[in-house]
Structure 1
Amino acid sequence: MSSDGGGSRRIRWLLGFGFFVQGFRGFPWLGANFFLTDELRVNPSVLQLLQNSANLPMVAKPIYGVVSDAVYFFGQHPLLQAVSWLAIAFLARSNVSILALSLYLLLSNLGASVVEVANDAIVAEAGKQKSASSGELPSFVWMASSLGGILGNLLGGIAIKTFSSQSTFLVFGLLALLQFLVTITIREKSLNLPENHSPSGGGGIKSHVSDLSRVLRKPEISYSIAWMALSTALVPVLTGTMFFYQTKILNIDASLLGISKVVGQVAMLLWGVVYNRWLKTTSPRKLIAAIQGTIAVFVVSDLLFVRGVYRDLGVADSVYVLFVSGILETLFYFKNLPFTVLMTRLCPRGCEGSLMAFVMSAIALAFIVSGYLGIVLASFVEVTVDDHSGFAGGLAVEAVCVVVPLVFTSWIYDEKEGAEEKSKKKE
């Protein structure tokens, strides 16, 4: 067997396990949601504030990406996740404050964000070695992450009901520690990745910052990223309010919520399979626009659910939560797969880590802004722990905001149109 083939297998093993663990993060986060609401008694707005604030380290991904391209850090960062979740597990057995818990969640996501930057860079670099347009490796890691999400959410609901929410922190901390031990045993050179030189010929951080700046000035890249970020940031999501509505008003069981999230992850897995087999040659613009429209339909469905329309039709609340709510949560991420493939095709060699980190950072910041806007919207429609009468109105506003970005889908680069424009210029 060729050494190149061995490197390819090691890349798949490393990325497959890494993305599986990242997908499995739903396991402790489900526990964290119940711990915050049941043990620390936070209200819907505080819950959503903590959920989104914990993602702030993801915004600094461009810094990690530039360092990744220039220095190529490797291997140590799963340890930060492991230490953080293990610390939360043991602290949660005593009187832990919201501030202390928030700090450890931030540190955990800091470790996760650095790991994700390294993994995304490897995906982009390895894609250059083969058919960069195939989308095979992005689909593979997408499916690995989905499998982790399926198992994590399925076991999370069972663990919370059978043991405690604290048990999820301990189990994930040990899994992250295993990821650290696996990663440090794989030598970077054995992956047979191309040498990561800056397009401008330099190898330092300054040259990579310059390269990233030059890449981001390309309209096909900058406009596409702008649309992806705005299509999320403009939507005030009400995830914290929905969690309270389902658990406190409807009294939905924790295990059922876990299974609901599993349904969403199964949908993500199937999306990865369908994309890889039938849709990878389809225009990313068309796919992303179709997904955005589908999200709008699902938000309207949530509005009907809260108004009791499905209940009046004989559909039990638990059935709706099981089969629809989990899918809506994951639908917001469906756009990432075709968009990642598009960015991989457009990215010049040597800027993979920097550009993909910037893209993921922009998307992470968009989700944070979306969550904060959701807190403002919940306050505006006067949703509280005991009063959800304004919830339906908030969902109506969310649905309208989802539709607005569809007007600007021309910002997303279309490779067919780009090729036609180039041929016209040559003529």
Structure 2
Amino acid sequence: MDKKNSSNKINMKSKGGGEESTMMMRKVLLGLGFWVQGLRCFPWMGVNYYLKDNLRVDATTLQLLQNSANLPMVAKPVYGLISDSFYIAGQHRIPYIAFGAILQSLSWLAIAFYPSEASFSTITICLLLGNLGASIVEVANDAVVAETSQSSSGGLQSFVWMASSLGGVMGNLLGGIAIEKFSPKGMFVIFGLILGMQHLLTLFIRESYLNLPKGSSDMSIRKQFNELVSALKRPEISRSITWLAFSYGIIPSLAGTMFFYQSQHLGIDSSAIGISKVFGQVAMLLWGIVYNQRLRSWTPRRLITTIQCVMGIFVVSDYLFVKGIYRSLWVPDTVYVVLFSGLIEVLCFFKILPFTIVMAQLCPHGCEGSLMAFVMSTVALAFIVSGYFGVVLSSYVGVTAEDGFSKLPFALIIQSVCMFLPIYWSSCIPELPSKSKKKET
């Protein structure tokens, strides 16, 4: 009897050790992947200044490029279907992460080492290829998170959220400094080398270490597509995704216009703008911690609706800033930009954390990669629509640098009204039970 008990204890210890090792490998892979994903703001800050100072583009052209470069993100369901269906050397996540990392690396290095000053068309093509690689990596990483989080209540999602936010903090903090110390091309070289290191490190990780759910390695794309369509026919899934896309697409983005207003009209230097984005990323990092410790008892609908309300309030704050109200209250423009502008930019991403947990709970087994890819591609498309909507709004209202951005306050009023519209249809988000309620049952 004693021998049997001791044998059971040994088996439990070995099993526990194996689970700890598996979780550690998952966190290494996903922590690195999402950290690099968050760090992408580092070269993109260089892109903004490269276009403004070197290529002399206007605010409208900058915003068009920012949104058009995200077009590869729209095809994420295709990458998800491929990674779900086609195994490479017995693996269907790691090879795609490695390929996406090296594609990004080559794209950024191509811009950096272009023999002459890169033209607008050249940099557009390279950015499209870089975002293609980034979208492939994101699809594979999101699929791993979805596959390993079916029985959890958000722990792994919170971890990768914080890893991405930490990358964003470092990217914006270093970007604000690097834009003054180095040229934008130097920033592209640094990020390209980091991606090369990610590619090499990923190759040393075997998918068997991650203990992913076993799937059929010979599943056809047609069958995988049918499973995705079947999942999307579920009302709770389709209505949720439609609401999320609507909540982003209905809001005209004025990011490019605000960047020109702050850097060109107000003359705020790049380090202050970089620090403002750091504040935003720190807020995202804290959001992951606060959600994990304090807000998991909230239902997703209640939390997402609250975030939408806060977004609208902050846009009203932007209106007061542009009208000079804060300036009349002895709050310098630089102080407002540093403390609030970066936070306003990232608030829209706060909804994604609780929403991914909703999708992880609703997602049928076998199409995690495809469904999560579809969700993120829908969000990407909504952001692109939002960006183009913002360009149309700025042109229609007449927001230009020549007249000192005098029509920008009116554009911000329209933006704030659009912020509150999705709240009316928030019932589309399923009222899933919170973690505390699950424990009670």
In 2: Cα distance, 1:163 partner to 1:311 partner: 33
**Displaced runs of 4 or more, over 4 A:** none
**2:44 is the counterpart of 1:29:** yes
Q: For residues 263-319 of structure 1, give each alpha carbon's deviation from its aligned partner in whole angstroms, at most 9, with x where no partner exists.
A: 000000000000011112311111110000000001010011000000011000000
Aligned partner of 1:392 in structure 2 is 409
2:121 matched to 1:99?
A: yes
SS in 1 for 2:272: helix
Is 1:206 the equivalent of 2:229?
no
Q: Distance in 2 between the 1:360 and 1:309 partners?
A: 38
SS in structure 1 opposite 2:75?
helix
* Between 292-301 and 272-281, the greater mean CA deviation after superposition: 272-281
Task: Quote the offset at 1:3 in angstroms.
Answer: 3.0
Give 2:299's aligned residue.
283
CA distance in 2, matches of 1:98, 1:302: 31
Q: Secondary structure at the match of 2:113?
A: helix
Contact 2:35/2:165 (8 A) holds in 1 = yes
Q: Is the deviation greater in 62-71 or in 43-52?
A: 62-71
Q: State how far apart, in whole Å, the 2-side matches of 1:205 and 1:275 are.
A: 37
Aligned to 1:373: 389
The alignment status of 1:110 with 2:132, answered yes or no, reads yes
Bigger CA radius of gyration: 2
TM-score normalized by the length of structure 1:
0.94
| Correspondence 1:45 to 2:60 | yes
Q: Kindly indicate whether the alpha-carbon contact (under 8 Å) linking 1:76 and 1:184 is maintained by their aligned counterparts in 2.
A: no
Asked whether the equivalents of residues 43 and 384 of structure 1 are also in contact (C-alpha less than 8 Å), the reply is no
Deviation at 1:95, TM superposition (A): 2.0
CA contact (8 A) 1:381 1:394 kept: yes
Task: Give 1:165 deviation, angstroms.
Answer: 1.6
Partner of 1:350: 366
Residue 191 (structure 1) shift:
1.3
Residue from 279, 286, 291 that aligns with 1:263: 279
Tell me which amino acid in the other structure corresponds to 1:203.
M
Q: How big is the shift at 1:94?
A: 2.0
Contact 1:125 1:193 in 2 (8 A): yes
Of 280, 284, 290 in structure 2, the residue corresponding to residue 274 of structure 1 is 290
Q: State the distance in 1 between where 2:164 and 2:23 align.
A: 19
Contact 1:57–1:109 at 8 Å: present in 2 too?
yes
Structure 2: distance between partners of 1:196 and 1:16? 24
Match of 1:252, SS state, is coil
Which stretch has the larger CA shift, 327-336 or 187-196? 187-196
Over residues 385-425 of structure 1, what are the superposed CA-to-partner deviations in whole Å (9 max), with x where a residue is unaligned?
Answer: 322111111000000001111110001111249xx9xxxxx
* Deviation of 1:5 (Å): 2.5
Please state whether the residue corresponding to 1:77 is helix, strand or coil: helix
Correspondent of 1:195 among 211, 214, 218: 214
AA in 1 matched with 2:431: D
Alignment of 1:29-178 (within 5 A): 29-71=44-86, 72-73=92-93, 74=95, 75-91=98-114, 94-128=116-150, 131-132=151-152, 134-178=153-197
Aligned identity (percent) is 55
Distance 1:197 1:315 in 2: 61
C-alpha displacement of 1:197 = 4.2
Cα distance between partner residues in 2 of 1:205 and 1:157: 44
CA RMSD of aligned residues (A): 1.4
Alignment pair present for 1:228 and 2:244: yes
The answer on whether the counterparts of 2:63 and 2:256 sit within 8 Å (CA) in structure 1 is: yes
> For each residue in 1:200-229, what CA deviation from the matched residue of structure 2 results, as whole angstroms up to 9, or x when unmatched?
xx7221111000000000000000000000
Tell me how many residue pairs correspond in the alignment. Answer: 411
Find the counterpart in structure 2 of residue 364 from structure 1.
380
Q: Does 1:237 align with 2:253?
A: yes
Which whole-Å CA distance do the structure 1 matches of 2:159 and 2:251 have between them?
A: 29
TM-score, normalised with respect to structure 2: 0.91
Q: Which amino acid aligns with 2:181?
A: T
Distance across 2 between alignment mates of 1:288 and 1:328: 16
Residue 200 (structure 2) aligns with: 181
Where in structure 2 are there 5+ consecutive unaligned residues?
Answer: 1-13, 87-91
Q: What CA distance in whole angstroms lies between the structure 1 residues aligned with 2:215 and 2:333?
A: 52
CA distance in 2, matches of 1:174, 1:404: 43
- Is contact 2:99-2:133 (8 Å) kept? no
Structure 1 distance, partners of 2:99, 2:204, is 11
TM superposition shift of 1:188? 1.3
Q: CA deviation at 1:44?
A: 0.5
* Residue identity opposite 1:69 in structure 2: D
Counterpart residue identity of residue 99, structure 2: Q
**Which residue of structure 2 lines up, in the alignment, with residue 8 of structure 1?**
23
Greater CA drift, 381-390 or 328-337:
381-390
Whole-Å separation in 2 of the counterparts to 1:158 and 1:339: 34
Deviations 1:230-257 (A, max 9, x none): 0000000100100000000000110111
Flag structure 1 segments of 5+ consecutive residues without an equivalent. Answer: 421-427
* Structure 2 SS opposite 1:236: coil
Deviation at 1:69, TM superposition (A): 1.3
Secondary structure in structure 2 of the residue aligned to 1:383: coil
Alpha-carbon distance in 2 for matches of 1:191, 1:405 = 39
Mean Cα displacement is larger for which, 50-59 or 62-71? 62-71
